[in-house]
Amino acid sequence: MKKLLLPLIATLFISSSLLGQQLPLYSQYFLNDFIINPAVAGSEEYSPIKLSIHKQWVGINDSPSTQSISGHTMLENNNVGIGGIIFNDAFGPVSHTGIQAVYSYHFHIDRINKISLGLAAIAFQYKMDQRFFELTTYDDPAITYMIEKTIVPDATFGVYAYGKHYWAGITAAHLFQSKLKINRNLDENTMVRHYFLMGGYKIHFPNNDLVQIEPSVMLKMTEVTPLQFDINLKLYYNKDYWFGISIRPQDSFVAAFGIKHQRYYLGYAYDFTFSDLSSYTIGSQEIVFGVNIGEPVKRGRSFF
């Protein structure tokens, strides 16, 4: 599997012509859209804290692995939201470990509908362990066989509109398009600006208050790659159970489910890969654990 992984790493992180997975991949972002859009900070009536663990391409050694813990809340003035994210993302010899500090401001259109603007200040350490490489040609000037590190500042901006039954947002990440000063032999080694457009609507049934359906979509692109999109559908039962599916054309099919007990919940997702990598991996997995601090608890309505 290492022979497969090395060309992938070289393509994604050394070549400047194909800048692929510069941001972590999440399967259950519809369970935690704050991880995508900083304007979500403070949009809930409680303070959610979430731990996410994602393992991509199970079966391939040193494949991408992402861990994050996030939380946000609304301040007492009911206009300003704050939050933070600590994350680690590793793929073979390359890793990003960093922190985000998030600020958002919410405009009240009326009693139910709001629009918010959010900005995340980011600092992360980019590390490349070139001792990982096993090359057949040893005179490549781009390879130093050393551990190289650099601290990278960045920012993400988002706009978010939400109401009782809907939500929608747009995000621009890697605003600074910072240069990664880790290899003097590479002139172009930069982060590329990413754009995300996402939205969903929760459908309620008048004659059945136990079941709700929430279709959603996310479009993503960079300034050097074509448009990609996900189509999602999430089914709620009694607000304590959910099942979701996502389709990423030409890449994967995602099945997710979750359970909730009072303020605590657990979500699990499995990605069935049908791209060219399907011959080497059994798919990807993700677990999300969360707690909603300050959420009112209805006694006697849980499955425990």
Q: What is the pLDDT of residues 263-299, one digit of tens each?
A: 999 999 999 988 888 888 888 999 999 999 999 876 5
Pick from 57, 52, 54, 51: nearest CA to 12? 57
pLDDT for 1: 43
Most confident of 1-15, 44-58, 174-188: 44-58
Least confident of 11-25, 197-211, 229-243: 11-25
In order of 203, 238, 240, 241, the CA distances from 210 in angstroms are: 12, 4, 10, 10
Task: Count CB atoms within 10 A of the CB of residue 239.
Answer: 12
Residue type, 190: T
pLDDT tens digits, one per residue of 8-52: 444 344 333 334 456 777 777 878 899 999 999 999 999 999 999
pLDDT at 303: 34
More confident position, 239 or 36? 36
**According to the model, what pLDDT value does residue 136 have?**
60
Sign of the CA dihedral with 101 first, then 152, 116, and 239 last: negative
pLDDT at 85: 96
Query: pLDDT by residue (tens digit) across 77-130?
Result: 889 999 999 999 998 888 889 999 999 999 999 989 999 999 999 999 988 887
Give the per-residue pLDDT at 138: 59
Ordered domains of the chain (ranges, CATH): 23-293 (2.40.160.40)
Whether the Cβ atoms of residue 186 and residue 142 lie closer than 8 Å to each other: yes
Contact, 145 vs 133, CB < 8 A?
yes
Q: How far apart (Å, rounded) are the C-alpha atoms in residues 146 and 129?
A: 6
- CA dihedral 100→101→107→111, nearest 10 degrees, is 80
